[in-house]
Amino acid sequence: MLSHPAPLAVAAEDLTPAMLRRAYALMHTAAAMAALYEDQKAVAARYVHATARGHEAVQLAAAFLLSETDYAAPYYRDDAFLLGLGLRPYELMLQLLAKGDDPFSGGRTYYAHPSLRRPGVPVMPHQSSATGMQAIPATGMAHALAYLEGQGLRPAPALADAGGPNGAWLQEALRPLLGTRADPDEAPAPLPPLVLCSIGDGAMTEGEVSEALQMAVLHQLPIVYLVQDNDWGISATGPEMRAMDAYEFAAGFPGLHRVRVDGADLISSYKGLAEAYAHVRQRRGPALVHAKCPLLGHHTSGVRREWYRGDDLAQHQTQDPLPRLHRRLLAAGATEAELAALAAQARVTVAADWALALAAPNPDPATFADHEFAPPAVTQEAGERAPAGAEKVLMVDAALHAVDDILAEFPEALFYGQDVGGELGGVFREAALLAKKYGDKRVFNTPIQEAYIVGSTAGMAAVGARPIVEIQFADYIWPALNQLVEELSKSCYLSMGKFPVPALIRVPIGAYGGGGPYHSGSIESTLLTIRGIKVVYPSNAADMKGLMRAAFLDPNPVIMLEHKGLYWSKVPGTEEAKTLEPAAGYVVPLGQAAVAQAADPAHLRRGDTALVIAYGMGVHWARTASRDFPGRVEILDLRTLNPLDFAGVQAAVARHGKVLVLTEEPLMNSFAESLAGRIQRHCFMALDAPVFTLGAANLPAIPLNAELEKMMLPSAAKVAEALAELLAF
């Protein structure tokens, strides 16, 4: 049975008559859109969508209280919220129909999934449709706001975007009925910004939501979580899904201000949200508003209410926010004729916008691949790689110095992860003393929350912070993959380039002798199946420093894989991972391979050479193995795995005709096998032998015992054996 809190008492000045009439017109607009989509379902339901029907009151209240300096992360049922912010029905319909002029994604993603930077409207970054995934990026936005405020820096401004002024369509349509714009719509004095995260109650059971709430409370971030609770998931009811509602759940987070409202009543919703917003704007900590709402439409266009709702639907209809607001307006002195005119005008507007949206052009098919990445900031090597008087440096120190230089130069940069702050500075000392130097607001420890560490970077970047984060071991990155795949990797493409995610994600990787099954793994092949991210894998200190800076400057998500066995050059055969330290500011562009060792020209002329394509530890195995074949082995260090320098690969293959692709990963279905197949396909005429591959044994984990580890992994001796066979072919 749907139940609602008792209506809050409200003073007349809280919502002016003009605001109430505007809300009434927008409620009817949202309801007319839902009715039209149902009536025109043969067209409208071609692509899945959900509507706000039943949730309009709380969504409009939430929108009315926001300003253009705020940030918002709506969820998929928030079309009334978007109308309340001033977006035109036509704009939402363009996204519903996947039209080319869809202002959010150009026809690439679902209805009511905004990606918007527009003056007059809160910034709304891309978010996925995965349930609850917006909580972490939204909290990342709040984290960035708190950080930038503390540093005296300004958040990134809204940019000019397609579309008219906020709400201009409504003002024009209702001018004969409402008159000129009333004072609540006039620009108020700037308020301290906040983030609104809108979410359904079913999503509150997601573990990632708990990670977001934990960080919001821990750092007292300026965010309001609006939980719209209609007692349904898809076909699962509230009692089936949860032991408590969101308001009760939030009690487990001391310092999270809680408010209950009747989400079907505009005044209750407005008062409760105003209280929560004020709490956050006064920087008293985060807030959660639990709004009980009826679900009057379908779950989505693909899961229809008549299939499973039964008598429950009739119960929900008794709480329809439209007649409730209608009665309030009559009690406040409005006439039936006035309200009927507002409703009629809403229907006329919706019908006219639908006709325009239907006639709008589809996306140009030639643009389908646009905006996979934002253009790189670094396109050529620059700076001094081996300056006069430089000393050799360990890879771990080159990484530390690169991050130190970045933090010194870019005040918007911050660095966080497990154990990178405080006294320790990373379990490999890769962040040693940075927290002492820059303070615990810029370099800080996080809880064991890989999803937050990675997913928060999307929100950070949207506000203008530049995050550097660390996953302590590659073996523990898996909880972060949801955010990496659903949020970071898709953001630039689905927002048509409006929201690339400049995030540098450091990941220590690889075996180093006795690390065992949970501290030795290699994950690059998994990462390389994720489109929209870049993957970098240096093999020496100079490249580490140059690639680290280029990765930071890149406007896209970049994962920096840092081999633990190369950090200290203690593993036999890795002495050459130490190099002269490049000068501050040195950069190596992503996507350029390097010849780590050239073959002797005399052997090249005789045609008795081979090429080893490697990266990371493989470069050092190959160099050691090549001593058995003096002058006959070229080593191509890929340095970046995505984007891959395939032109460099092709040129090197053409020089030699014999190729070994080397990896530390188990070989079957790996990146190395994929690259070998690509070489076979595109370089076939240049080959004098099959493309050889070498990797670890195809086992699920690296064993703890050092001798067992040696049996599983490649080594210089195994590479030498493969080279002997290849050169003799």
Q: 269: which DSSP letter? A: H
285: left (phi > 0), else alpha (psi -120 to 50), else beta?
left
Cα–Cα nearest to 502, from 374, 642, 640: 374
What residues have CB less than 8 Å from 451, skipping those under 6 apart? 136, 207, 208, 211, 479, 480, 482, 483
* Catalytic member of 55, 143, 279, 519: 519
507: left (phi > 0), else alpha (psi -120 to 50), else beta?
beta
Cα–Cα nearest to 134, from 84, 195, 198: 198
Structure tokens at 638: 């890929």
Structure tokens at 516: 């065992």
Paired residues of 614 in beta bridges: 637
Chain mean position to CA 401:
27
Walk across the sheet containing 534-536 and list its strands: 443-445, 413-417, 466-470, 503-509, 557-563, 534-536, 640-642
Walk across the sheet containing 287-292 and list its strands: 71-73, 195-200, 223-229, 287-292, 257-262
Report how far residue 444's alpha carbon sits from residue 470's, in angstroms, rounded to the nearest whole number.
Answer: 11
Instruction: Say if CB 497 and CB 374 are below 8 A apart.
Output: yes
What percentage of the chain's residues is helix, strand, coil (to nearest 5)? Answer: 45, 15, 45
633: left (phi > 0), else alpha (psi -120 to 50), else beta?
beta
Separation in Å, CA 526 to CA 15, 500, 666: 53, 22, 12
Exposed/middle/buried for residue 430 (C-beta within 10 Å: 0-12, 13-18, 19+):
buried
> What is the three-class DSSP state of 428?
coil
Chain mean position to CA 524:
19
Amino acid, single-letter form, for residue 713: L
Q: 8: which DSSP letter? A: P
**Cβ-defined contacts of 711-717 (< 8 Å, 24+):** 713/511, 713/664, 714/618, 714/621, 714/662, 714/663, 714/664, 715/621, 716/573, 716/620, 716/621, 716/622, 716/624, 716/625, 717/625
Kindly write down the DSSP assignment for every residue of 10-58, as one continuous string.
--GGGS-HHHHHHHHHHHHHHHHHHHHHHHTHHHHTTS-----TT-HHH
Is 656 annotated as catalytic? no
Residue 655 φ/ψ, nearest 5 degrees: -70, -30
Structure tokens at 234: 């898809």
Residue 572 φ/ψ, nearest 5 degrees: -55, 135
CA dihedral 665, 667, 672, 675 (to 10 degrees): -160
What residues have CB less than 8 Å from 110, skipping those under 6 apart? 47, 48, 49, 76, 95, 129
Rg of the chain taking only CA atoms, in angstroms = 29
Structure tokens at 325: 């607001």
Amino acid, single-letter form, for residue 97: L
Report how far residue 223's alpha carbon sits from residue 205's, in angstroms, rounded to the nearest whole number.
Answer: 19
Catalytic residues: 519
